[in-house]
């Protein structure tokens, strides 16, 4: 007979997946910006400016789209 999947098994699996997710988020952040030398290139500065602008414009655009539809 197969082992039953219990609540404690689910909690352990969730913890494992959350750990993997945090590792992947760190890895994705490292791909976007290389901070190993603590100096940003012009290309990286453009990405930073875009992300700063999107942090402000993104929610505004989302609210406007939400109001329209």
Q: Could you give the CA distance from residue 24 to residue 54 in angstroms, rounded to a whole number?
A: 22
Span 32-52, mean pLDDT?
77
Predicted confidence (pLDDT) at residue 1 exceeds the cutoff of 60: no
Shared-domain flag, residues 1 and 26: yes
Shared-domain flag, residues 27 and 50: no
Span 16-26, mean pLDDT?
85
- Host domain of residue 54: 39-69
Q: Which residues contact 48 (CB under 8 A, 6 or more apart)?
A: 33, 40
Shared-domain flag, residues 55 and 28: no
Q: Could you give the CA distance from residue 9 to residue 16 in angstroms, rounded to a whole number?
A: 11
pLDDT digits (tens, 9 = 90+) for 52-66: 998 999 999 999 999
Amino acid 34: pLDDT: 63
Predicted confidence (pLDDT) at residue 4 exceeds the cutoff of 70: yes
Q: Could you give the CA distance from residue 4 to residue 16 in angstroms, rounded to a whole number?
A: 19
How many domains are contained in the chain?
Answer: 2
């Amino acid at each position: 007979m197969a082992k039953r999947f219990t609540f404690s098994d689910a909690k352990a699996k969730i913890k494992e997946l959350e750990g993997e997710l945090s590792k992947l988020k760190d890895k994705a952040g490292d791909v976007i910006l290389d901070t190993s030398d603590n100096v940003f290139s012009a290309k990286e500065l453009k990405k930073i400016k875009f992300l700063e602008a999107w942090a402000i414009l993104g929610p505004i655009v989302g609210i406007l789209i939400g109001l329209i539809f």
